Amino acid sequence: MNIKDFFIAKNIAFGVESEDYEQINIAVDAAKAVERATGLGVYIIDYFMKNVIYISENIAQRCGIPIEEIRTKGYSCYLDYIPPTDYDMLLEINDVFFDFFSKLSAEEKLNYTIVYDFHINKRLIHQHFTPMTIRAGCIMYYFNIFPKNSG
């Protein structure tokens, strides 16, 4: 299992500038507010830098993974806990999604969310994957929600 499998060439953004990161704290504050208001598990992934920008502690609890491990290892941490069959399924979802996504205009890309179930650490997770920011026609950040009943 390799994290690079999920950050595929179909979504490589070029021309991302440092100012694209200037408002990420606003997005993190918004994610924390959503988490507080709803009890949902929330995380934000930076697709361009291939790292976790924010992850709520309740996701770690639902997945049975120490939050420190997720913060240290980032997105690749999940790969240690996903069974091979779900890994293959997630790669297929990723590939199909980005095939579809590549056919949309920049404006349309923010109108779609994909929802799917997979296992982390033997717990069934129900996830909503939503693009947050589009740069050069590609996802720069995406926002994920784990509903209360996940894990």
The torsion angle over the Cα atoms of residues 103, 112, 140 and 1, rounded to 10 degrees, is: -90
Residue 86: predicted pLDDT: 92
DSSP secondary structure, 39-92, as one string: --EEEEEETTTTEEEEE-HHHHHHHT--HHHHHHHTTHHHHTTS-HHHHHHHHH
**What mean pLDDT is predicted for residues 76-100?**
87
Buried b (16+ CB within 10 A) or exposed e, 27-43: beeebeeebeeeebbbb
Q: Is residue 85 part of a domain?
A: yes
Q: Would you say residue 18 lies in a domain?
A: yes
| More confident position, 25 or 146 | 25
The domain in which residue 9 lies consists of 3-146
Is the per-residue pLDDT at 16 higher than 80?
no
Q: Is residue 24 part of a domain?
A: yes
* Count of structural domains, the chain: 1
pLDDT of 12 higher than 70: no
* 114 within domain boundaries: yes
pLDDT tens, position by position, 27-61: 889 889 988 898 888 888 887 777 788 888 888 88
Residues 126-134 have a mean pLDDT of: 83
Q: What is the pTM of this model?
A: 0.77
